[in-house]
A and B are shown apart, each in its own frame.
Chain A
Amino acid sequence: MKVLVPVDASAAALAPVAHLEALARSGVQIEVLVLNVQPRFHRHVSQFSSRKARDLLRQERSRIAMARAIEALSRTPLPFSAFTEVGRVAERIAAVAERERVDEIMMGVGRHPNWLRWINPSIAQGVMALTDIPVSVLARGQASMLERYAVPAGVAGLAALLLAAE
């Protein structure tokens, strides 16, 4: 079974490693492909920097993002390879999954409240929209109280203040 594990620098992204290790222990043959996608820079940034400098920065960010996943996988008997892509995250994940003919895409994600998902849509959902390959999502953690209540309450309070001032 060939599994694509897209990672960023978050702890939640490492969730698939333990799950895959457990699967391997139960006798399933697993090959892991670790992928980190670095977004393209906005053209206003690109025009003031050289291609080499941008590539170096992406390489450095990618190395940092994948370091923990590679370290965790190195401690397991799972065979793995790691690579980086550049572009829109969900699009590149789906494209790499199709290109490498993986059996499954496995993503570890953090839990967030609905309003935050509305502003910043889930990458896992984006990937599901782009490919027929099964996508497994391992949600980790809890939305913080700040995310859940304080920020919406703050925004509502600010709006109320603005309305009252008019």
Chain B
Amino acid sequence: MRILIPDIDSLNAQPAVRHVARGFLSGERYRVHLAYVRKSVDPKAGYRQLEPSRALLERLHVPCTVHLEEAADRVRGICMMARRIGAESIVLGTARNWSLTRLSEDALIQALLETAPVPVTVVAGKSVSALERYGVAAGLGATLALMLSG
């Protein structure tokens, strides 16, 4: 069985990798494909981004392969890669809902859920900090208020 973990957010990719590793440790057997799909790929940045996930999988002896791929449309790029490697599942690690990071990921997640040729599993990261939840919103509100009053 092959599982594709596309990197949409390196920080929150860790829960996805841990979820897959847990399955592996409980007896499921598969190869994990870590993918870095961007409009233009800098190999150095790509490998750096995937390194924590790769290291974690290696530590747990989960077989894994790293892919760097250039694609104008990330969703299409991920779907094409899933088809090409014959992945049976795509696992996404994302930020927890109501975070600013998640807001930027939602369109990609929704598009993947709608178009992926295989089941898509979404593993949410830890709850967002109070700073991210309220601080950023308060900051934006204050900036808007200043602009309107000015």
Chain A residues near B (Cβ < 8 Å): 1, 19, 23, 26-28, 104, 106, 109, 111-112, 114, 117, 122, 124-125, 128-132, 134-139
Contacts and interface: CB of A to CB of B under 8 A. Distances in A.
Given A26-B1, A111-B114, A134 B123 contact: yes
B122 interface: yes
29 contacts: A1-B23, A1-B26, A19-B119, A26-B1, A27-B29, A28-B23, A117-B110, A122-B110, A124-B113, A125-B113, A128-B122, A129-B97, A130-B97, A132-B96, A132-B124, A134-B91, A134-B122, A135-B121, A135-B122, A136-B89, A136-B119, A136-B120, A136-B121, A137-B119, A137-B121, A137-B122, A138-B119, A139-B113, A139-B115
B15 to A, nearest CB: 8
B134 to A, nearest CB: 17
Contacts of A104: 121
A3 to B, nearest CB: 11
A28 B89 CA distance: 15
Contacts of A19: 119
A109 B113 contact: yes
* Interface majority SS (helix, strand, loop, mixed), chain B: mixed
A10 B91 CA distance: 25
Contact of A27 (B27, B97, B115, B122): B27
A139 B116 contact: yes
A120 to B, nearest CB: 13
A139 B120 CA distance: 8
Interface of B: 1, 19, 23, 26-29, 89, 91, 96-98, 106, 109-110, 113-116, 119-124
Nearest to A134: B123
A104 B120 CA distance: 12
Contact of A125 (B29, B110, B116): B110
A124 B122 CA distance: 10
The residue among A28, A112, A117, A128 with the most chain B CB atoms within 10 A of its own CB is A128
A139 B110 CA distance: 11
Contacts of B26: 1
A114 B106 CA distance: 13
Closest 6 CB pairs of A and B: A129-B97, A136-B121, A134-B123, A138-B119, A137-B113, A137-B120
Given A129-B97, A129-B98, A122 B113 contact: yes
Contact of A139 (B29, B114, B122): B114
Contacts of B120: 136-137, 139
Contacts of A128: 97, 122, 124
A106 B122 CA distance: 10
A112 B114 CA distance: 7
Nearest to B1: A26
B109 to A, nearest CB: 8
Contacts of B109: 125
A62 B98 CA distance: 32
B19 A134 contact: yes
